[in-house]
Structures are given as structure tokens and as C-alpha cells.
């Protein structure tokens, strides 16, 4: 049995049954059987109907899911409501994308050998999808992995994070209630960590969707069966540059949201802020004043802005990184105190050493660091100096500065006057280099979960 607890105070929520190796084998066999039975594949109109019904069922239970996200994951309730709404929209998005999801004509007749022929491609589901998810968006990440699989006709087996399985389990129940046969969408909650590797690397798996640490993701990627595809979403150490032309009155709120949303437990959370000499004192004063006012505590309360870290061990780690930075010469502008077993004060550090972990590794906690620069290209070089690369921001009113930074920052997406954490669910979302592999976002995932087949007709 797996005990699920509240992230904030570690109070028990419930216990759930776990799956052993025999259960995994049953689930893989069930998924393989329905995928091999081509005559009974669901038609696109049937999959659209299921997804639309699922979105309605999910919307009707929005408040339940929001409170569950707050309890098991520790996300403040206002943000949990946003996540639940995004999940509903994501399911609709997968259904609507099918309207334009098609193959293409391959030109023939371009040579004598190709005369009197007509060719086109169709899209087919790639096969069984293994989805391994993370705790920080326990509903919406599941939607991003499961809804595309349903849309394109892939059987999917989804493993939620062990700390936050309830939203996933409840969502998959709604999938079945919406009319999808159970074998097409199953949960997997392993009794042992080793079973997760066995699951992901099973030769029957055609596509691995992994959201989590780079160490685990790249390891599983290296062990995949030959021919299997993967999409890996890891983390970053997201940089933001504040130019001297930035509107300081308008950027503090988005930067605070970017750095402290879900206590910084977001793969594109703002962590490194490079601020121009001319405005650094004014910016720092304003940022620290706002961070001091953040309401930190019980995520189930509607006025909480920053909740806990997911487990006490993570709070220990983040606290140790803050201590290391301060001992290494950083100035602690605010925060740094332990408020409870899992909760830390939102923290601002000034000019930590570049070698400190807070400067070079993903903190995944409620901490941002401010660094001074005088030349834009120096700030860009420092922003690009790490092996991770995901999303980045430039805050500037000077269009030349904004475009120079946008063109030169090593990132899959550069936000101009928006935080590094900005995302809508239909946009491409991808880490570069160590930060990931493939492209997320519901339409892009649907594409990755299919393969094209060319059909050629020769005239008599």
C-alpha cells in the first residue's frame, strides 16, 4: 500500500494499492491486445466524442480536483483552480486538433519512373505509450500525456508521481466514464522503483513520455527498446534579464510570479535575474519589498500565494543551498528561514558565487538570485553559460535590446516582458540540451505519438 499525505502538514489523506510485476504484465498485455486488434480501433469521431465528454466530466469536478491538487501537491488553491481549468481546456484542445490532423500528398510524376502514380500519407498511432509524470502539476501533466494518446488512438499506461497519485487516478476513472475502454488507458503505481524502469523499457512500449529529473530521463532514454521514441521534459535554471529600459512598475509582479509560483517547483521557474547597473538598486528594493509580502502557508486557503515543498527532504536541500550561497559570499536580502517541516520563506539572494549550486543547478524551490551586469552581451553570455536551456525572459522597453536578447539567448522560448514560467497548453514547450528531448504541447505530442504511412496507387 502507498500512503498519500498532504504536502503542507504531512497529514494522511488515504492509502492506495500498488502494482507488482504481475500487475504490470497484465496491463501491458491488455494494452498490446487492444492495439493489435485493428478492426476494433476507435474511429476519430468516437475519440472526439470521448474527449468532449471527458472534458465535461472534468469541468463538473473542477473544485474537487483543485482541492486535491492543493492537498496532495501543495499548490496554493488559486493556482490549483487555474491548473484544473487548464486541464479541461487541454482535453478540448486534443479533441479539436483532430479536425486538422491529417497526412499529405506526396508528389508523383516528377520523373518518368514516377509517372501514372498517386501517393499520400496517413497518420497511424505509434503503439503503446508509457507516461511517467511529475508531482508539480498532478492533473495537467497527466492531461498532456494522456489526452494526446487518446486522441490519436494509442493505448496509454500512466505512472503518476508517488507523492501525488490521486489526481491521476481520479482523472483516469473519468476517462473510463467518458467511454474509453479500460485497456486503452490504465494507471500504474509501482510497488518498487525498479518496476518503473521495467515498465518504461519494456519492448512493447513504442513511446516514452517522461517528465522529471534529467538524470532519470536520460538514463531511461538510453535503455529504450530499439525503435521506441521518447519525449523528455526535464528542468532548467531559468534566466531573466532586466534592462535599464524596463518598466520597473510593471515587471515586479510577473517576475515574482515567475520565481515563486508553486514555491518555485516548476521546470521553467525564474531563478537567475541579471539586472543592469543603472536600475539594480531600485529593482532589488522593489522586488524584496514584494517578496516580503508574499503570503506563505496552507495551500488549501484561498489567500495563500506560496505553499510548501513537496517533501521535507526537498526543504532540507533547498535550505542547504541557501546556506551554501550565503557562506560563499551572497547577501541574503530576505527569507531563508524554515517555517515548517516542508515550508520555507520565499528567499532573495544577491550576487551568489557563479559556482554556487543556486547559480548553476535547478533549485526547484522558492529562491531567486540577482546578479549585476553593465553590458547586455555579458548578461546574455552568463545566461547561456549552463548546460541546461529551457525558457528565458528579457524585460525591456527598448525594442533593440529586447530583440538582441531574444535572438541570442539559448532557449527554446524567450519571453519579452513576461516571466520565464509563462505557458499556454497549445504552444511548443521543450527543453534544449540537458533540459529535454522532443517537444511538448498537446498538438506536438499528438504528432510525436503517430507515424506516417505512405500509400501509393498505380494507374493501370
Over residues 174-226, the pLDDT tens digits come to 999 999 999 999 999 998 889 999 999 999 999 999 999 999 999 999 999 99
Alpha-carbon Rg for the chain in angstroms: 23
Task: Please state the length of the chain.
Answer: 460
Confidence at residue 17, expressed as pLDDT on a 0 to 100 scale: 95
Do residues 307 and 264 lie in contact, with contact meaning Cβ atoms separated by under 8 Å? no
Sign, CA dihedral 259-427-431-51, equals: positive
Q: How confident is the model at residue 160 (pLDDT cuts 50, 70, 90)?
A: very high
- Alpha carbon distance 27, 186 (integer Å): 7
- pLDDT tens digits, residue range 270-308? 999 999 999 999 999 999 999 999 999 999 999 999 999
Q: How many CA atoms lie within 13 A of 224 on its CB side?
A: 21
Determine the pLDDT at residue 405: 98
Assess whether 185 carries a catalytic annotation: no
Q: What is residue 193's predicted lDDT score, i.e. its pLDDT? A: 87
pLDDT band at 249 (very low <50, low <70, confident <90, very high): very high
pTM: 0.94
Give the pLDDT band of residue 158 (cuts 50, 70, 90). very high
Least confident of 321-335, 395-409, 425-439: 425-439
Confidence class of residue 375 from pLDDT cuts 50, 70 and 90?
A: very high
Question: Over 90: is that where the pLDDT of 460 sits?
Answer: no
The three state secondary structure string of the chain is: CEEEECCCCCCEEEEECCECHHHHHHHHHHHHHHHHCHHHCCCHHHHHHHHHHHHHHHHHCHHHHHHHHHHHHCCCHHHHHHHHHHHHHHHHHHHHHHHHCCCCEECCCCCHHHCCEEEEEEEEECCEEEEECCCCCCCHHHHHHHHHHHHHCCCEEEECCCCCCHHHHHHHHHHHHCCCCHHHEEECCECCHHHHHHHHCCCCEEEEEEECCHHHHHHHHHCCCCCCEEEEECCCCEEEEECCCCCHHHHHHHHHHHHHHHHHCCCCCEEEEEEECCCHHHHHHHHHHHHHCCCECCCCCCCCCECCCCCHHHHHHHHHHHHHHHHCCCEEEECCCECCCCCECCEEEECCCCCCHHHHCCCCCCEEEEEEECCHHHHHHHHCCCCEECEEEEECCCHHHHHHHHHHCCCCEEEECCCCCCCCCCCCECCEECCEECCECHHHHHHHCEEEEEEEEECC
Cα–Cα nearest to 203, from 447, 41, 28: 28
Categorize the per-residue pLDDT at 153 as very low, low, confident or very high, splitting at 50, 70 and 90.
very high
Q: Is the pLDDT of residue 12 over 80?
A: yes
Q: Pick the catalytic residue from 72, 83, 97, 233.
A: 233
Q: What is the pLDDT of residues 385-396, one digit of tens each?
A: 999 999 999 999
Judged against a pLDDT cut of 80, whether residue 165 lies above it is answered with yes
Exactly one of 168, 185, 267, 362 is catalytic; name it. Answer: 267
Residue range 244-261: mean pLDDT, rounded: 97
pLDDT of residue 31: 98
Residue 91 predicted with pLDDT over 80: yes
pLDDT at position 191: 86
Name every residue whose Cβ is closer than 8 Å to that of residue 41 and which is 6 or more positions away in sequence: 125, 153
- Is 192 annotated in the active site? no
pLDDT digits 0-9 by tens, 298-338: 999 999 999 999 999 999 999 999 999 999 999 999 999 99
Amino acid 284: pLDDT: 98
CA distance 451 to 445: 12
Using CA atoms, how far apart are residues 207 and 446, in angstroms rounded to an integer?
11
Average pLDDT in the chain: 96
Task: Average the pLDDT over 51-80 and give the result.
Answer: 98
Amino acid at each position: 500500500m502507498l500512503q498519500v499525505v498532504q504536502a503542507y502538514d504531512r497529514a494522511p489523506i488515504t492509502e492506495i494499492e500498488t502494482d507488482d510485476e504481475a500487475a504490470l504484465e497484465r496491463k501491458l498485455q491488455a494494452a498490446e491486445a487492444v492495439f493489435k486488434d485493428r478492426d476494433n480501433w476507435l474511429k476519430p469521431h468516437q475519440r472526439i466524442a470521448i474527449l468532449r465528454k471527458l472534458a465535461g466530466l472534468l469541468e463538473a469536478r473542477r473544485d474537487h480536483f483543485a482541492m486535491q491538487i492543493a492537498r496532495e501537491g501543495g499548490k496554493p488553491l488559486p493556482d490549483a483552480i487555474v491548473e484544473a481549468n487548464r486541464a479541461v481546456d487541454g482535453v478540448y484542445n486534443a479533441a479539436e486538433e483532430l479536425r486538422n490532423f491529417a497526412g499529405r500528398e506526396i508528389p508523383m510524376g516528377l520523373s518518368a519512373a514516377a509517372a501514372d502514380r498517386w501517393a499520400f500519407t496517413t497518420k497511424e498511432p505509434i503503439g503503446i505509450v508509457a507516461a511517467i509524470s511529475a508531482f508539480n502539476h498532478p492533473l495537467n501533466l497527466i492531461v498532456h500525456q494522456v489526452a494526446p494518446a487518446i486522441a490519436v488512438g494509442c493505448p496509454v499506461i500512466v505512472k503518476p508521481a508517488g507523492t501525488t497519485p490521486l489526481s491521476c487516478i481520479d482523472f483516469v476513472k473519468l476517462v473510463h466514464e467518458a467511454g474509453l475502454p479500460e485497456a486503452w488507458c490504465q494507471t500504474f503505481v509501482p510497488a518498487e522503483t525498479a518496476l518503473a524502469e521495467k515498465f518504461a523499457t519494456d519492448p512493447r512500449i513504442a513511446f516514452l513520455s517522461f517528465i522529471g529529473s534529467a538524470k532519470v530521463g536520460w538514463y531511461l532514454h538510453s535503455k529504450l527498446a530499439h525503435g521506441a521514441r521518447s519525449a523528455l521534459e526535464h528542468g532548467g535554471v531559468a534566466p531573466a534579464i532586466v534592462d535599464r529600459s524596463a518598466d520597473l512598475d510593471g515587471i515586479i509582479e510577473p517576475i515574482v510570479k515567475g520565481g515563486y509560483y508553486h514555491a518555485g517547483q516548476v521546470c521553467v521557474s525564474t531563478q537567475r535575474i541579471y539586472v543592469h547597473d543603472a536600475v539594480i538598486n531600485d529593482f532589488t528594493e522593489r522586488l524584496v519589498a514584494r517578496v516580503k509580502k508574499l503570503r506563505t502557508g496552507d495551500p488549501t486557503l484561498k489567500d495563500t500565494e506560496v505553499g510548501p515543498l513537496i517533501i521535507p527532504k526537498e526543504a532540507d536541500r533547498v535550505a542547504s543551498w541557501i546556506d551554501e550561497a550565503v557562506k560563499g559570499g551572497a547577501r541574503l536580502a530576505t527569507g531563508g528561514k524554515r517555517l515548517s517541516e516542508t515550508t520555507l520563506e520565499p528567499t532573495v539572494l544577491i550576487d551568489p558565487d557563479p559556482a554556487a549550486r543556486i547559480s548553476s543547478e535547478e533549485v526547484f524551490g522558492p529562491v531567486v538570485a540577482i546578479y549585476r551586469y553593465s553590458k547586455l552581451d555579458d548578461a546574455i553570455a552568463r545566461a547561456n553559460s549552463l548546460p541546461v536551456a529551457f525558457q528565458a525572459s528579457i524585460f525591456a522597453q527598448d525594442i533593440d535590446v529586447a530583440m538582441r536578447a531574444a535572438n541570442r539567448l539559448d532557449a527554446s522560448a524567450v519571453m519579452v516582458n513576461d516571466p520565464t514560467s509563462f505557458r499556454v497548453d497549445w504552444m511548443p514547450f521543450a527543453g534544449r540540451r540537458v533540459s529535454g528531448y522532443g517537444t511538448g504541447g498537446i498538438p506536438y505530442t499528438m504528432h510525436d505519438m503517430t507515424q506516417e504511412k505512405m500509400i501509393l496507387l498505380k494507374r493501370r
